[in-house]
């Protein structure tokens, strides 16, 4: 490679590493594996070493990745939170040892000891204590300036608010989420159709860097402390001694810390950690070798980016071949059907893998997977097993193509994949797999509004087999409900009354409760107003529905298909039998003062909910919209109005307060 080619490649690598580092550190949404990123950095570092004239202070080889997120106060670290030099072989570990021993010899130091620790896969943070009390916490950021996340760190149960000694100290640790908690979080997110976290590190980072500490408090964050950054009134000779003292202070110290007298012992410790890494409760992305003598560390010093007294050994991802025996489908609580690979059991990174998710139809096509294929498996971030690729030269011709099911494997209802979506869904409203979520939605405030019938009670009713479908809500007996709680008679009576009251709801509430895809509160009110009865709506044609303002062909098709479903017809008949109202109760208003006017609501109102205000506007002939445009007539702005208010002001749209809205109603 000549100089021109080298310069071009260096520029390409800098652009790529900056982009991937931003996705990893700032957005907490990595796009490539740690190993792939590391290999790009190795190539960049080697090229810069060979062509030093092209080294730039802006290169990630010369600085720590990460920036301060908007919304956080900046914190300047008194002692920089540096990164570590990565090594990928024992040959490089031994080169590190040679450099250290050469420096030791030059400075008259006869003995060099090391400490090997696990490199925890999380987000680095500094904790500051005054007189033994926790006063401030910050993320690493770019190493020099981080984000003040004190309130968020206070929600981490393993961070002591007060130490056993009244001392001024700043320590460094790694905030992480355990493997078990991470798997549980992703399972819940999958059931709720939320985007899955890519790995435990990014889940921890995203959780700690929330602007609302209440969200952080709900996440299972933990921390291990691994370094003293600064301490007043005490001195230590060795790093290992420091760590022991931190434990006595009450810190949750990195549990894997192995003292080593030689580099050979250090290599053995690295191998042992590698063998045991699957048994660790937390994820790691390597092992760290540190010089133990703190005085010698000061002599060795640091570069701008990394200390010279430590390196991080990065384990390569372990890959194994196995057979894709079958692909089965699982139905989540929201009806999303997820294909699952059934594998010939194979041991990868210390655990036996016999199945893994295939995400969706597109993933299977992208990987060109067939039942019977030989596939390569690896564990992403040492936690989640994944299929990396197909070994196509091992195909025999007996492999079978896979197709997503046309009917739900649980209830037999047709499945649908809508344009622009990757997910295939079950359409059955009575599908047992979806029942819990459907029940929660059916009784919610914006739907049938059955106060007292919360998620816990619904789960108990299902567990005790007191309800098997939505309509069973209306056959619940007083004694059944009372049996769910100690001294539950008053609760039972209140719930029976709430269920009975819900039968008299307007048709629009029932339409909302059915959970028709793409049909929310606003569309439900519109449909109830136009069709007057459930029967009329059920018999409406696609053409007729698609001509309604704000409905269109996609929503019209969704409504039509929903009411053609046998499960839907069965549920409606059961609800009719139970005495649930099927008619619009809204009287035709002669007052059309808002006819032809479009309102956008933003912020919080004092005397109305947004739904109530929308109902009033639509009853008086107006329309409501979720977006501000030049066609908007009024923006009704309450407290804490955000970007919609700003956009309205920029476009010159009339902005009215709640008081002005009330005046418009009183005229």
Split at pLDDT 50, 70, 90, the class of 589 is low
Mean local confidence (pLDDT), 482-493: 88
378, 374, 278, 379: which is closest to 325 by C-alpha? Answer: 374
- Residue 28 or residue 141, greater confidence: 141
Give residue-wise pLDDT tens across range 258-306.
Answer: 999 999 999 999 999 988 887 899 988 899 999 999 999 999 999 888 9
- Give the whole-angstrom CA distance, residue 260 versus residue 113: 6
Split at pLDDT 50, 70, 90, the class of 235 is very high
Split at pLDDT 50, 70, 90, the class of 380 is low
Per-residue pLDDT at 353: 86
Give residue-wise pLDDT tens across range 91-123.
Answer: 999 999 999 999 999 999 999 999 999 999 899
Q: Residue 377, SS3?
A: strand
Split at pLDDT 50, 70, 90, the class of 614 is confident
Mean local confidence (pLDDT), 157-179: 95
Cα 357 off chain centre by: 17
Per-residue pLDDT at 350: 59
Per-residue pLDDT at 65: 56
Per-residue pLDDT at 574: 96
Q: Please tell me the least confidently modeled range out of 34-48, 358-372, 573-587.
A: 34-48
Buried b (16+ CB within 10 A) or exposed e, 384-421: bbbbeebeeeeeeeebeebeebeebebbebbbbeeeee
Under 8 Å CB-to-CB from 100, ≥6 apart: which residues? 112, 291, 300, 309
pTM recorded for the entire structure? 0.55
31, 146, 25: which is closest to 81 by C-alpha? Answer: 146
- Give the whole-angstrom CA distance, residue 510 versus residue 370: 44
Count of other CB atoms within 10 angstroms of residue 464:
11
Per-residue pLDDT at 17: 84
Whether 322 and 346 have beta carbons less than 8 Å apart is answered as yes
Q: Please tell me the least confidently modeled range out of 49-53, 512-516, 635-639.
A: 49-53
Residue 162 has pLDDT above 90, yes or no: yes
Pair of tokens at residue 35 = 């190993």
Catalytic annotation on 623? no
Per-residue pLDDT at 383: 58
Domains along the sequence of the chain with CATH: 3-54 (1.10.287.610), 74-313 (3.30.470.30), 319-394 (2.40.50.140), 428-586 (1.10.150.20), 598-666 (3.40.50.10190)
Residue 64 has pLDDT above 60, yes or no: no
Residue 667 has pLDDT above 90, yes or no: no
- Give the whole-angstrom CA distance, residue 247 versus residue 255: 10
- Give the whole-angstrom CA distance, residue 327 versus residue 338: 10
Whether 243 and 109 have beta carbons less than 8 Å apart is answered as no
Whether 159 and 223 have beta carbons less than 8 Å apart is answered as yes
Whether 386 and 378 have beta carbons less than 8 Å apart is answered as yes
Give residue-wise pLDDT tens across range 175-215.
Answer: 999 988 988 888 888 777 677 777 788 888 888 888 888 88
Residue 48 has pLDDT above 90, yes or no: no
Q: Please tell me the least confidently modeled range out of 24-28, 80-84, 276-280, 328-332.
A: 24-28
Per-residue pLDDT at 176: 94
- Give the whole-angstrom CA distance, residue 150 versus residue 136: 5
Cα 233 off chain centre by: 43
Per-residue pLDDT at 97: 96
- Give the whole-angstrom CA distance, residue 531 versus residue 537: 6
Whether 76 and 138 have beta carbons less than 8 Å apart is answered as no
Per-residue pLDDT at 234: 92
Mean local confidence (pLDDT), 315-328: 89
Per-residue pLDDT at 607: 84
- Give the whole-angstrom CA distance, residue 181 versus residue 167: 33
468, 397, 476: which is closest to 430 by C-alpha? Answer: 468
Q: Which of the 8 DSSP states describes residue 6?
A: H
Q: Which residue among the candidates 119, 290, 379, 509 is catalytic per the annotation?
A: 119
Residue 429 has pLDDT above 70, yes or no: yes
Residue 36 has pLDDT above 80, yes or no: no
Write the CA distances from 579 to 80, 528, 533, integer angstroms. Answer: 70, 18, 14
Q: Calculate the average pLDDT of the chain.
A: 89
Whether 191 and 132 have beta carbons less than 8 Å apart is answered as no
């Amino acid at each position: 490679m000549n100089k021109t080619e080298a310069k071009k490649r260096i520029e390409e690598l800098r652009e790529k590493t900056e982009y991937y580092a931003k996705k990893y550190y700032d957005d907490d949404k990595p796009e490539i594996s740690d190993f792939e990123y590391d290999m790009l950095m190795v190539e960049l570092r080697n090229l810069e070493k060979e062509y030093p004239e092209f080294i730039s202070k802006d290169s990630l080889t010369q600085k720590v990745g990460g920036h301060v997120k908007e919304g956080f106060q900046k914190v300047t670290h008194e002692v920089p939170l540096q990164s570590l030099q990565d090594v990928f072989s024992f040959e490089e570990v031994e080169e590190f040892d040679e450099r250290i021993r050469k420096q030791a010899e030059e400075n008259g130091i006869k003995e060099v000891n090391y400490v090997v620790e696990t490199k925890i896969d999380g987000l680095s943070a500094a904790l500051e204590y005054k007189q033994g009390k926790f006063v401030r916490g910050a993320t690493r950021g770019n190493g020099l300036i981080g984000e003040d996340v004190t309130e968020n760190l206070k929600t981490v149960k393993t961070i002591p608010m007060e130490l056993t000694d009244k001392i001024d100290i700043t320590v460094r640790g790694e905030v992480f989420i355990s493997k078990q908690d991470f798997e549980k979080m992703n399972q819940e997110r999958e059931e709720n159709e939320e985007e899955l976290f890519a790995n435990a590190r990014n889940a921890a980072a995203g959780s700690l860097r929330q602007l609302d500490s209440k969200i952080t408090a709900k996440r299972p964050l933990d921390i291990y402390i691994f370094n003293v950054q600064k301490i007043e009134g005490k001195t230590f000779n060795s790093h290992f001694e420091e760590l022991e003292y931190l434990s006595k202070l009450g810190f949750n110290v990195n549990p894997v810390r192995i003292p080593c007298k030689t580099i050979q012992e250090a290599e053995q410790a690295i191998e042992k950690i590698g063998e045991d890494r699957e048994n660790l409760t937390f994820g790691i992305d390597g092992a760290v070798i540190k010089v133990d003598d703190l005085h010698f560390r000061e002599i060795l010093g640091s570069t701008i980016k990394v200390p010279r007294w430590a390196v991080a050994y990065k384990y390569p991802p372990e890959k194994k071949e196995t057979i894709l025996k079958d692909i089965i489908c699982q139905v989540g609580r929201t009806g999303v059907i997820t294909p699952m690979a059934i594998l010939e059991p194979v041991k990868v990174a210390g655990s036996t893998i016999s199945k893994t998710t295939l995400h969706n139809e597109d993933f299977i096509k992208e990987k060109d997977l067939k039942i019977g294929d030989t596939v390569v498996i690896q564990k992403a971030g040492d936690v989640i097993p994944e299929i990396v690729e197909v070994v196509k030269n091992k195909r025999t011709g007996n492999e079978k193509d896979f197709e997503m099911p046309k009917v739900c494997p649980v209830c037999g209802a047709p499945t649908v994949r809508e344009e622009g979506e990757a997910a295939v869904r079950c359409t059955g409203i009575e599908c047992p797999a979806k029942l819990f979520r459907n029940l929660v939605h059916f009784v919610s405030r914006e739907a049938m509004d059955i106060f007292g019938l919360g998620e816990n009670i619904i789960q108990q009713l299902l567990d005790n087999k007191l309800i098997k479908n939505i309509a069973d809500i209306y056959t619940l007996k007083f004694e059944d409900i009372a049996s769910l709680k100690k001294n539950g008679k008053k609760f039972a009576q209140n719930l029976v009354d709430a269920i009975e009251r819900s039968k008299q709801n307007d048709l629009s509430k029932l339409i909302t409760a059915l959970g028709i895809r793409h049909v929310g509160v606003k569309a439900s009110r519109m449909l109830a107003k136009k069709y007057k009865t459930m029967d009329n709506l059920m018999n409406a044609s696609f053409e007729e529905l698609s001509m309604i303002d704000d409905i269109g062909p996609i929503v019209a098709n969704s409504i039509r298909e929903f009411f053609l479903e046998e499960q839907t017809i069965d549920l409606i008949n059961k609800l009719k039998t139970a005495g649930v109202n099927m008619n619009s109760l809204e009287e035709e208003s002669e007052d059309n003062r808002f006819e032809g006017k479009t309102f956008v609501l933003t912020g919080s109102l004092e005397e109305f909910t947004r739904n109530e205000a929308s109902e009033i506007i639509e009853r008086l002939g107006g329309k409501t919209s979720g977006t501000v445009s030049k066609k908007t007539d009024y923006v009704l702005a309450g407290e804490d109005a955000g970007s919609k208010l700003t956009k309205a002001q920029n476009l010159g749209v009339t902005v009215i307060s709640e008081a002005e809205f009330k005046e418009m109603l009183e005229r």
